[in-house]
Amino acid sequence: MNGSVRHLYVHLPFCAHRCGYCDFVTVVGREGWHGRYVDALLAELELERDRLSDRVETVFLGGGTPTLTDGDELRRLLEALPAASEVTVEANPETVTQTLARMLREAGVTRVSLGAQSFQPELLRVLERRASPDAVRKAFYHLRDANFDNISLDLLHGIPGQSAAALRADIDEALALAPEHVSYYELEAKSGTTFTHAHGAELVRQAEAMEGYFDLVVERLTAAGYRWYETANFCLAADHAGGRDLRAQHNLAYWLGRDYLGLGLGAVSTLGDERRRNTPRLKAYVTALASGEAPPREVEPLDEPTRDQERLMLGLRLDTGLPLAEAERSVDATALGRVEQLGLATFRSETDGQTTLVLTPRGRRLGGAVTVELLT
């Protein structure tokens, strides 16, 4: 390993059931394929190993449902991956047993991202989730018992039928568990999903009715000592966490525009001047790697202006903003002045003499709309 890439993503696509709202690359069934799939991942790692730095900082196993992977195969994979200071695994609550939690910890996992989504039984039914609210809590306690001191909860707002009271109840339930990190996503209607087909119109109505409800999420979590460090992400602030920086370091690398290597089905990599996306077809992926070849993939050139624009869009999602000099590579002074006048962004003077472009709380709530305003 003598390359420069310090962030590694590994995709584990297997799921017990396809949730209607999800458009991630997933594979339902095919239990007999777990071993072959892990072999293929490790073969791909060997082919790409030279791109990785000697000091990999973060590894992220995402899915699909990584914790549905056969336990022995998951352990074999974890033990073969490069060591890193942050190793995150995404987990579905119904798959987290005491044994699994211990195995993850022993195999070097430092952080678990638990897909709770909601604590309301009727909303979990709408989402077609398999875990009950009790199963979410039980999974969380198993992880704590296995000494995980960095647990994140994924929650959704904008679920059809979600009232303000239900949202408040979810926030209270989440806070009662005292997770180190919370991702609070707005449920998106992904085109082509059965969910969008069944609930599309209601999702639009719901989004309108719930406008302003995300303010409630921000208010409650920040009042409880969480730092709203990215549009949809919160972590216990350093002064509530013994000085620890609990931001998701792997995701932070994406938001800061760093290079990363993605292994597995449908995995995306950003490597210098290109972005690659592996085939989403399980058989094609496994077959290619079994014969020592790279998997079929799409490669898209990434020129500097495109990377600068992405850096602007992602950097503005962070509470740290981005250096004005970097923003100026993509947008002109007139556009910057306009968003400042609209009260959506400010220029902050840093102690090192640099100026940073940061969104105001209002700008952050509008999210993408501000970048659109800047880039047009």
Ligand X SMILES: C[S@@+](CC[C@H](N)C(=O)[O-])C[C@H]1O[C@@H](n2cnc3c(N)ncnc32)[C@H](O)[C@@H]1O
Nearer to ligand X, 179 or 321 (CB): 179
| Residue ranges binding ligand SF4 (CB under 6 A) | 15, 18-19, 22, 24, 26, 63-65, 92, 115
10 token code pair: 């590994």
Select the residue whose beta carbon is closest to ligand X and give its number: 115
- Which among 5, 69, 83 is positioned nearest to 270, based on CA atoms? 5
Structure tokens at 26: 């997933």
- Token output for 350: 């840093």
Which of residues 188 and 308 has its CB atom nearest to ligand X in the complex? 188
- Residue number with the smallest Cβ distance to ligand SF4: 22
List residues binding ligand X (CB under 6 A).
21-22, 24, 62-63, 65, 90, 92, 115, 117, 154, 156, 185, 187-188, 190
Query: Is the Cβ of residue 63 or residue 160 nearer to ligand SF4 in the bound state?
Result: 63
Minimum distance from residue 143 beta carbon to ligand SF4 (Å): 17
Closest listed residue to residue 309, CA positions, set 374, 254, 260, 253: 374
d(CA 130, CA 122): 12
Classified as helix, coil or strand, 25 is coil
| Beta partners for residue 27, in sequence order | 14
What is the smallest separation between the CB atom of 203 and ligand X, expressed in angstroms?
10
Give the angle 104-108-112 at the CA atoms, nearest 5°.
50
Peptide linkage before 64 cis (omega within 30 of 0): yes
Strands (E), 71-118: 86-91, 111-117
Q: Closest separation between CB of residue 134 and ligand X, Å? A: 16
Rounded distance, CA 365 to CA 212, Å?
9
Q: Of the two residues 63 and 363, which places its CB atom closer to ligand SF4 in the complex?
A: 63
Of residues 24 and 347, the one with the C-beta less far from ligand SF4: 24
Specify whether the backbone of 154 is left (phi greater than 0), alpha (psi in -120 to 50) or beta. Answer: beta
Q: Which is nearer to ligand X, 249 or 330 (CB)?
A: 249
At its nearest, how many Å lie between ligand SF4 and the CB of residue 30?
A: 13
Minimum CB separation from ligand X for residue 140, in Å? 13
Residue 117 interacts, among ligand X, ligand SF4, none and using kind-specific CB cut-offs from 5 to 8 Å, with: ligand X
- Give the rounded distance of the alpha carbon of 41 from its chain centre: 20
Minimal distance in Å, beta carbon 211 to ligand X?
A: 17
φ, ψ for residue 30, nearest 5 deg: 55, 40
Residue 188's binding partner out of ligand SF4, ligand X, none, with CB under 5 to 8 Å set by partner kind: ligand X
Q: Residue 154: which of ligand X, ligand SF4, none does it interact with, CB under 5 to 8 A by kind?
A: ligand X
List the single partner that 190 binds among ligand SF4, ligand X, none, CB under 5 to 8 Å by kind.
ligand X
Q: Binds 62, which of ligand X, ligand SF4, none (CB < 5 to 8 A, cut-off by type)?
A: ligand X
**Least distance (Å) from ligand X to the CB of residue 100?**
14
- Kindly tell me which of 100 and 344 has the beta carbon lying closer to ligand X: 100
Q: Which does 18 bind (CB under 5 to 8 A by kind): ligand X, ligand SF4, none?
A: ligand SF4
Which residues have C-beta within 8 Å of that of residue 269, sequence separation ≥ 6?
9, 260, 261, 262, 275, 276
Minimum CB separation of residue 258 from ligand X in Å reads 20
In the bound state with ligand SF4, the residue whose beta carbon lies nearer, of 190 and 283, is: 190
Encoded tokens for 93 = 């609550």
Give CA–CA dist 284/14, Å, rounded. 16
Nearest to 9 by CA among 82, 74, 71: 82
User: Among residues 69 and 330, whose Cβ is nearest to ligand SF4?
Assistant: 69
DSSP run (H or E) holding 58: strand 58-63
Distance (Å, whole) CA 92 – CA 122: 18
Q: Which does 40 bind (CB under 5 to 8 A by kind): ligand X, ligand SF4, none?
A: none
Provide the minimum distance between the beta carbon of 18 and ligand SF4 in the complex, in angstroms, as a whole number: 5
